Chain A
């Protein structure tokens, strides 16, 4: 037992230590922001991130839990009250943390920061840190809390219960749209990484039979032994990386895997359809185990490697592209930085997980802080690592890999001249040597972020293991990114299929049956057609497609975050916590400003790299004047239609957001004027199951 004197001195020491964390963090951020030399060491960013996350978790999340949400650790959670040994199971907090993190962490935080690195490392890093601590982590934690208090109701259900049917339908429509665009853009990222790369294509293709083999193992040979099955699977995947290299060296075999963009897009579309209709144990479940193991392993390895090697960042803190002329995507830093980096700062998609499986596992409300806020802190640190991996490349090399040929020039000489003229020197020989080291024919114009991230990861890993392994590490990184992108494609298509079936079920009851095969095939085909269309258009677009699809995805994701934050704000106000409503209201306001500005610019901007209509009109004029090549003219009508369709989608998305915000404001206004509102949907816990609570508080 400690004496009162010891307690006081412990208290003082703790205060002092946290003060130290604050000072070190402030110095690191100051150092990063004021650094204007040739390069800066990545450790500055690592230290700043650790300090910001620690302070946010220790103080802000604790304050929100205690004051804003009034978390009650003694209150019986749905997991304990409704324990059925299946989905409602009281679970240890580290295990819930693991499951929740595995669910929220996808390829988003790797791709977004890589694309946003065109502005320099500073703007993206600051947004990741601030956005996560004040926005994303808060959203995840508050939604997890609200759903736990409502027996694990989903975001859409909570929106309907608390705000009204309008909010509920908007949430469901938003979810479906984001799913379609997300899968299309991720498909495009994989296609661009595999295009004309026999090694990458063969390695990624090998993951499919490996997953099926593992599926049979887990079902027939050793049922449910996930650990050993996954170890075998991961070993086979690593073998697949070697095997891909061997195929690449074989004169005949390599031609089988040397595919162009449209062919690969058709493969991904066919794969998505097959994965959605097969039973989950065949492909989806084993692939997900593999991708989760790889993801954890690679993130840990990468973090260790960054801390061991302490690489210098060669990208400037801020580039001239903040003015909107960036090669990767057009548009100024405000608002486009804030929609390019969604996952890693704030991601609306997480609200679906926080109101899905996770609240049914929480054994005490005291764990909500760690699971909700803590998991997002970890996810955000993945985004910081991706930013480091992207900016440690020579900026000239980074832009050569990530710029579409339609923008910098179709030949190597044209591209290096353009990029060198921007002030980022790079030569065709340098790019050729790099491609050779990585075991690729070319690295020019490999848009989408995955290849440049793989080059960054390979150089970090190879600096530990020796340069001779660069090509292996590169293809390992590509395989790693592809594996969990394909998992998202599988899982997303399946969710899309269920949503389509649900909607069809309203028209014709039989179509809603999830085990009736004609309906399964039809609804899967519809879901795949939705994202397959956008993927195909992205592949044939000479400007790379990413520059159109990624902002669309960012806006859709932020829209979902806006809906989640509206629901949270509305509930806080209904519960008489108006003075704390800014906790979710401020991030909501910021997202509303960002998405609305971005939508406005995407629709009305006369700059053809930003405005959808401007681009469509320009292409239509060129087509009419006959100045396009035969190849360009063949795809022009599709591209023109697509640009106009994108404008319509983005307008619908933003309108949905404002409808939900208006619904929330209406509810708040009624509360303020003592008018009746929908009753709270919070579950009343019977006193019997809440015994410890009354004991402690009474």
Chain B
């Protein structure tokens, strides 16, 4: 039950993009460990810029 709730919470965090920064850190550590990763704020701003550079919302 507890594990279920936790995975549901994780799903909500992923869906709301709350978890995006942790995923970025993990990816960064795995692939680009030689450089310093962006901080949370810069990552958020860069992601918003990328997200809204194309067709992202419909009728």
Which residues does A use to contact B, with CB under 8 Å? 83-87, 89, 91-92, 94-95, 98-99, 103-108, 175, 182, 186, 218-220, 223-227, 230, 280-281, 284-285, 288-289, 342-343, 347, 349-350, 352-353, 356-357, 487-488, 491-492, 494-495, 498, 514, 553, 557
Given A223-B44, A343-B59: A98 in contact with B49 (beta carbons within 8 A): no
Chain A residue numbers with a CB within 8 Å of B23 are 85, 89
Q: Is the CB of B48 within 8 A of A86?
A: no
Interface residues of B in 4-57 (CB under 8 A from A): 11-18, 20-21, 23-24, 27-28, 31, 39-41, 43-45, 47-57
Count of A-B contacts judged by CB separation below 8 Å: 112
Given A94-B11, A95-B15, A224-B21: A108 in contact with B59 (beta carbons within 8 A): yes
Q: Is the CB of A108 within 8 A of B58?
A: yes
Given A95-B11, A224-B43: A557 in contact with B59 (beta carbons within 8 A): yes
Chain B residue numbers with a CB within 8 Å of A284 are 52
- B57 vs chain A, min Cβ distance (A): 4
- A524 vs chain B, min Cβ distance (A): 14
Q: Roughly how many angstroms separate A350 CA and B31 CA in the complex, as a whole number?
A: 34
Chain B residue numbers with a CB within 8 Å of A223 are 39-41, 44
Q: Roughly how many angstroms separate A353 CA and B55 CA in the complex, as a whole number?
A: 7
Chain B residue numbers with a CB within 8 Å of A352 are 55, 58
Nearest chain A residue, comparing its CB with the CB of B13:
A227
Contact partner of B17 among A219, A226, A491, CB < 8 A?
A: A226
- A278 vs chain B, min Cβ distance (A): 11
Q: Is the CB of B57 within 8 A of A95?
A: no
28 contacts between A and B (CB under 8 A): A84-B27, A85-B28, A86-B47, A87-B50, A89-B23, A95-B14, A106-B59, A108-B58, A175-B55, A219-B45, A223-B39, A223-B44, A224-B18, A226-B17, A226-B18, A227-B16, A281-B45, A284-B52, A342-B59, A343-B58, A349-B58, A356-B56, A487-B57, A495-B55, A495-B56, A498-B53, A498-B54, A557-B59
Most buried by A among B20, B47, B51, B58: B58
Given A108-B59, A223-B41, A281-B45: A98 in contact with B18 (beta carbons within 8 A): no
Given A95-B11, A285-B52, A347-B58: A224 in contact with B16 (beta carbons within 8 A): no
Q: Roughly how many angstroms separate A69 CA and B46 CA in the complex, as a whole number?
A: 36
Chain B residue numbers with a CB within 8 Å of A281 are 44-45, 48
Chain A residue numbers with a CB within 8 Å of B11 are 92, 94-95
Chain A residue numbers with a CB within 8 Å of B18 are 224-227
Which are the 9 A-B pairs with shortest beta-carbon distances?
A85-B27, A108-B59, A224-B44, A223-B41, A491-B57, A280-B52, A98-B15, A352-B55, A223-B40
Q: Roughly how many angstroms separate A487 CA and B53 CA in the complex, as a whole number?
A: 15
Q: A89-B27, A223-B39, A285-B51 are in contact. List 15 more A-B contacts (CB 8 A).
A: A85-B24, A85-B28, A86-B50, A98-B15, A106-B57, A175-B55, A224-B41, A347-B59, A352-B55, A356-B56, A488-B57, A491-B52, A491-B56, A514-B53, A553-B59
Q: Roughly how many angstroms separate A203 CA and B18 CA in the complex, as a whole number?
A: 28
Chain B residue numbers with a CB within 8 Å of A289 are 16
Q: Roughly how many angstroms separate A488 CA and B3 CA in the complex, as a whole number?
A: 38
Q: Is the CB of B44 within 8 A of A218?
A: yes
- B30 vs chain A, min Cβ distance (A): 9
Chain A residue numbers with a CB within 8 Å of B41 are 219-220, 223-224
Q: Is the CB of B53 within 8 A of A103?
A: no
- B16 vs chain A, min Cβ distance (A): 5
Q: Is the CB of A357 within 8 A of B54?
A: yes
- A454 vs chain B, min Cβ distance (A): 19
Chain B residue numbers with a CB within 8 Å of A225 are 18
Q: Roughly how many angstroms separate A281 CA and B46 CA in the complex, as a whole number?
A: 10
